[in-house]
């Protein structure tokens, strides 16, 4: 009946026959039939995994036994959580289970329940003489030694539990502080290294970072790539909204310089690949654009064409002016050269 939860019977029997081992699930299944009751297994949400859902199951006796009651059991450990994790490679594992009592059955003696009833309803004595109700005085007695011992034990248990809880909390806080200090120690040397690194070290670091980014991007799925690009676009938009006009100007200048530098250093094949990607992006954008976006794009394109034509006309007119000036200068020089020998001969005759 319970093989679907706890495995084959022969395997469980072999495990039980080993020294210092027992099968908890078959114990619970056997108790269901012996006690004629339903047993609900409750496992604490500590290091809980999906395959441990079997531990939160209600076990029922096999037919034809009819359950007459229900019992709740709770998986626990005799040691506190820190000691258990230390012994089991930082994993919490229970080693026994305990029954959970309902609130109505939690009173430790009949005397307590009787005393609580007396506090709620005060008995009255009725006489046949005057038929008047007279309350009976109930003396208050000191608690019995056994009751005091039980209360002392409960106080000690509560103190031990609170001490264990405080110890766990302190340990967690200590782990958190150690993690924070380790992160700070890791950040500070990196900042110092960035300040003291040379241009060669910086180039090597950026090259390694670029290789890591390329490796991560080659292994990422389409969904991860989409999320990464969306986050990158959001960061870019946020930074551009908060930047000043001076920062925007510097950013655009740096971008233009990078583009020019990359285009100067690229090979013919890289240039062909870049132009092909630009063309594909333009075609994709034009296929998905609306009519209004198309009109805006054409208007911008027309303005750029006009600006380019005006620039070419200015450059052409400037070039023509320079050519005209150079030609006139050369003509003047050529015209002055034939007169030079005549003047020289006249001067020589005069001196003679």
Edge-first strand listing for the sheet containing 58-59? 58-59, 38-42, 70-76, 96-100
Residue 118's pLDDT is: 42
pLDDT of residue 281: 85
Split into its structural domains, the chain has a count of 1
The predicted pLDDT at position 303 comes to 92
Neighbour count for residue 60 (Cβ, 10 Å):
19
Cα gap 142→329, rounded to integer Å: 131
Strands (E), 216-266: none
Closest by CA position to 22, among listed 100, 99, 101, 94:
94
Please give the sequence-ordered ranges of beta strands (E in DSSP) within 65-157, or none if there are none. Answer: 70-76, 96-100, 124-126, 133-135
pLDDT at 27: 77
* Residue 343, domain member (yes or no): no
Is 46 contained in some domain? yes
State residue 325's pLDDT score. 80
The parts of the chain modelled with pLDDT lower than 50 are 20, 105-129, 133-144, 146-148, 351
For residue 88, tell me if it sits in a domain: yes
Nearest Cα to 39, choosing from 5, 12, 14? 5
Domain with 91 in it:
3-122
pLDDT at 112: 45
pTM of the model: 0.28
In a domain, 225, yes or no: no
Note the pLDDT of residue 122: 45
CA–CA separation, 322 and 332 (whole Å): 15
- The owner of tokens 């070419």 is 312
Is residue 205 situated within a structural domain?
no
Residues ≥6 apart with Cβ < 8 Å to 220: 228
Q: Give the pair of three-digit tokens for residue 300.
A: 């911008």
Secondary structure class of 201 (helix, strand, coil): helix
Other CB atoms within 10 A of residue 61 CB:
21
In a domain, 182, yes or no: no
Q: Of the candidates 276, 275, 295, 294, which has an alpha carbon nearest to the alpha carbon of residue 285? A: 294
CB atoms within 10 A of CB 71: 19
| Residue 342 falls inside a structural domain | no
Is residue 134, in this structure, part of any structural domain at all? no
Q: Give the integer Cα–Cα distance in Å for 243 and 250.
A: 11
pLDDT of residue 113: 47
Which among 23, 73, 75, 87 is positioned nearest to 46, based on CA atoms? 75
């Amino acid at each position: 009946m319970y093989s679907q939860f706890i495995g084959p019977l022969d395997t469980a029997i072999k495990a039980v026959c080993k020294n210092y081992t027992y099968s908890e699930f078959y114990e619970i299944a056997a108790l269901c039939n012996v006690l004629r009751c339903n047993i609900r297994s409750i496992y604490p949400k500590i290091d809980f995994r999906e395959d441990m859902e079997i531990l939160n199951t209600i076990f029922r006796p096999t037919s034809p036994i009819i359950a007459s009651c229900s019992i709740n059991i709770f998986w626990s450990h005799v040691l506190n959580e820190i000691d258990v994790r230390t012994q089991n490679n930082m994993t919490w594992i229970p080693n026994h289970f305990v029954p959970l009592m309902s609130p109505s059955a939690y009173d430790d003696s009949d005397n307590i329940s009787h005393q609580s009833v007396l506090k709620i309803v005060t008995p009255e004595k009725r006489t046949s003489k005057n038929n008047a109700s007279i309350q009976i005085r109930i003396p208050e007695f000191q608690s019995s030694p056994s009751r005091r011992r039980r209360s002392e034990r409960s106080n000690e248990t509560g103190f031990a539990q609170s001490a264990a809880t405080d110890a766990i909390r302190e340990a967690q806080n200590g782990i958190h502080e150690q993690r924070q200090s380790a992160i700070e120690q890791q950040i500070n040397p990196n900042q110092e290294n960035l300040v003291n690194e040379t241009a060669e070290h910086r180039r090597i670091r950026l090259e390694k970072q670029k290789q890591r980014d390329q490796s991560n991007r080659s292994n990422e799925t389409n969904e991860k790539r989409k999320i990464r690009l969306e986050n990158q676009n959001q960061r870019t938009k946020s930074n551009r909204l908060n930047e000043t006009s001076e920062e925007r100007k510097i950013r655009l200048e740096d971008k233009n310089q990078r583009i020019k530098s990359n285009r100067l250093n690229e090979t013919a094949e890289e240039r062909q690949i870049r132009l092909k990607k630009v063309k594909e992006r333009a075609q994709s954008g034009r296929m998905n654009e609306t009519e209004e976006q198309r009109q805006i794009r054409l208007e911008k394109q027309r303005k750029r064409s006009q600006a380019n034509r005006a620039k070419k006309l200015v450059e052409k007119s400037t070039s023509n002016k320079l050519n005209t000036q150079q030609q006139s200068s050369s003509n003047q020089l050529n015209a002055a050269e034939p007169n030079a020998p005549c003047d020289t001969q006249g001067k020589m005759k005069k001196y003679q």
